[in-house]
Amino acid sequence: MTRGECIKYMRYKLDVINSNISPSYEDSELYPFLDRATVLIIKDFIKSGNLEPIKDVIATELFSAASLSHANNSSGFVSNHESQFPVYADLSNLNGGDNTFLDYIDGSILLYRPNDTVNQITFENSTWVKLDKKERIIANRYKTSNFNKPYFLNPVAYISDNTKHLVIIPDYWTQFDKLELASGSMLHLTYAKMPTKFEDIADDDTEPDLSPDLHYNIVDTASDFAKIPIDPQSAAAEVQVDNAVKEKSEKEQ
């Protein structure tokens, strides 16, 4: 469906035209409900692991080592055995600039473990390792401290509260720093882009970003958001007011 067809179907769902009870919206007032529904559906597919239906909003980004910033003691972190602090990837610098990032899907980082006697990885054999995404509260348990020297092979990653950074926490034996001397990329990120807002779609003849197979689902969900529950007494009162206004208008004519 095009944007215009989405609005038309949504009005049908809301029964705005044929009912004195349903709330009456301008097109521009319906757009935020459609935006909210689109984001919710994207996140639901990410949680399910079924990415095919939302492939139009999936993107990848490669970060060089030099583009990553490093935490320090003043930011509340402690370095590990390799003098390595967590690193930050700036999500506001993705292709498209600010407000492009919607949600993390997957990622991997290049690392080595020179002094790990069990799972040693030399600098020359630096390896791509999948990130282990956690909620921030959970991720804090994996931080190195004076009392905590964690051991895990997959660096833990979480999204900062302002969604501007991906924070990557190494265990006690992982090292990133010297990879700045290496050429090429250090971090690979797969993420969902923020879909184009309905108000920013070129015109009513243009389709939204997601697959047409999802358009009815988007409108159905948006309609649920937009419908304002009205109890029978309030509804009856509104009808009486509408009729009174109509009768007064007819008499004045």
pTM score: 0.80
> Do the Cβ atoms of 228 and 30 come closer than 8 Å?
no
151: helix, coil or strand? Answer: coil
Return the CA Rg of the chain: 26
pLDDT at site 253: 44
Type of residue found at 76: G
Residue segments in the chain with a per-residue pLDDT below the cut of 70: 16-23, 96-99, 177-184, 228-253
Question: What is the rounded distance in angstroms from the CA atom of residue 129 to the CA atom of residue 122?
Answer: 14
pLDDT at site 13: 85
pLDDT for 119-149, tens place per residue?
999 988 889 999 999 998 999 899 999 889 9
DSSP 112: B
Tell me the longest C-alpha to C-alpha distance in the chain: 93
pLDDT at site 15: 74
pLDDT at site 238: 45
Question: What is the rounded distance in angstroms from the CA atom of residue 182 to the CA atom of residue 64?
Answer: 9
Which H helix or E strand runs over 14?
helix 3-14
> Do the Cβ atoms of 23 and 16 come closer than 8 Å?
yes
